[in-house]
Amino acid sequence: MSKFFHQCQFLISAANLSQLPEDDGAEVAFVGRSNAGKSSALNAIAGIKKLAKVSNTPGRTQLINLFSVSEQQRLVDLPGYGFAKVPVAVKERWQATLAKYLETRSCLQGLVLLMDVRHPLKDVDLNFLRWSAAVNLPVHVLLTKADKLARSHAMTALKTVQQSLALYHPNATVQLFSATKTLGLEEVSKRVFEWLNLETRG
């Protein structure tokens, strides 16, 4: 399934919403804590190693980065939250822009929420789940870096998150994922593909 994303290209980095493309077509956004591995996940789905910049320093994604799949379909790498080592004023501006994007972008079809499988369900993650449920936005949770845990421990984490989703966003789905091992790559690629509706829009 990921082969359908091989045509992805960097489109634009936007510091504010006025710089985004027209609010039409379909977008799928990736969001998560600054160390959750958003850029690595995007690169794995696209099958392009350096499509999104990966940094060893959490919080380097300070803009809304868009990647075109076609003229009407886009993947969106949103600023990370949590550990970014930036001034408070800058962090607050990111969060305000992020919130406005999620609340007003009508072409947003789904949200991929990334959590480190070793540290899932932080308060900010739960807030995203509550908000998404309230506005009926589909969410697919990626428990990233699953290769860092023994299989039994990863499965325990998966079950714990599934139980929480039943409370916070009953329609959300969740899976284990590892960008380095391509674990779960086809599953998440299929979900993003469905949200973008590439077969009919492509």
List domains and CATH numbers for the chain: 2-201 (3.40.50.300)
* pLDDT tens by residue, 139-191: 999 999 999 999 999 999 999 999 999 999 999 999 999 999 999 999 999 99
In whole numbers, what is the pLDDT of the chain averaged over residues? 88
Note the residue count of the chain: 202
At 63-98, the pLDDT tens digits run 899 999 999 999 999 887 665 566 777 777 777 888
Q: Is the pLDDT of residue 202 over 50?
A: no
pLDDT level of residue 198 (50, 70, 90 thresholds) = low
Among residues 86, 88, 163, 90, which one has the least CA distance to residue 129? Answer: 163
pLDDT at 1: 55
Question: 5 or 169, which is more confident?
Answer: 169
21 pLDDT more than 80: yes
Give just the sign of the alpha carbon dihedral 18, 19, 22, 27. Answer: negative
For residue 120, the 8-state DSSP code is -
Name which residue leads in pLDDT, 202 or 29: 29
- DSSP-derived 3-state class of residue 129: helix
- The answer to whether residue 108 scores a pLDDT higher than 80 is yes
Q: Which two tokens stand for residue 53?
A: 């910049």
